[in-house]
Amino acid sequence: MKLPAERQAQEEEDAGEQKTPLWIFGYGSLVWRPDFEFSSRKVGFIRGYSRRFWQGDTFHRGNDKMPGRVVTLQEDYDACTWGVAYEVRGEQIAASLQYLNMREAVLGGYDTKLVKFHPQDKEADEPILALVYIATPQNPTYLGPASEEDIAAQIIVSSGRSGHNIEYLLRLADFMRYFCPQVEDEHLFSIEEALVSILPCLCQAEEPLVEV
């Protein structure tokens, strides 16, 4: 079932118009690698959701035997999640939706919702309606909650076709530090801290024995 924004985009495409822009909110790898054409982008946040490394990934950042951990959103009335909203226009709309439906929702278990996006720049007076993809517990690779230490340990040993799971975590943490320095993402930074504390132990364990 399509959301109103998706239906409108499809109707305008069928009519050969596509005048209304569509905004797409990214909160995971989309913040640094959208991989679709867009007209503009804005850093900002949505309210009512918290970002969690509860979604398994057996393709981009893991495999069937060793799934990686990527983020999804959980409803959380008092929380807000920072990310990037991309404005797509004209032919960009159909192309971006087709790409995201393959990238984000090909396995099922994803919801698409319209959310109010609040841009970081002070010139924007009103929030912008944006489309967001959210993995649900019905997703076949959904993993659910775990301790920060367990999530970090899983990330360290996972990699997929888009690269190592560590890169995914560190890029997301870097985005938050560089573009949202005033925001403390406790879940994200706690996992990063746990990962950094585990890595030296692994390196020492893998050092070859030196004969005397």
Question: Looking at the annotation, which residues are catalytic?
Answer: 104
* Residue 74 bridge partners (DSSP): 50
Within the chain, what is the greatest distance between any pair of CA atoms?
A: 79
Type of residue numbered 20:
T
* Residue 80 bridge partners (DSSP): 47
Task: Give dist(CA 154, CA 157) in Å, integer.
Answer: 6
Beta strand extents in the chain (DSSP E only): 22-26, 40-57, 68-88, 110-119, 128-135, 159-160, 163-164
Tokens representing 34 are 């959208």
Residue reference for tokens 């990238």: 103
Residue 181 DSSP code:
T
Q: CB atoms < 10 A from the CB of 122, how many? A: 6
Counting Cα atoms < 13 Å in the Cβ hemisphere of 205 gives: 5
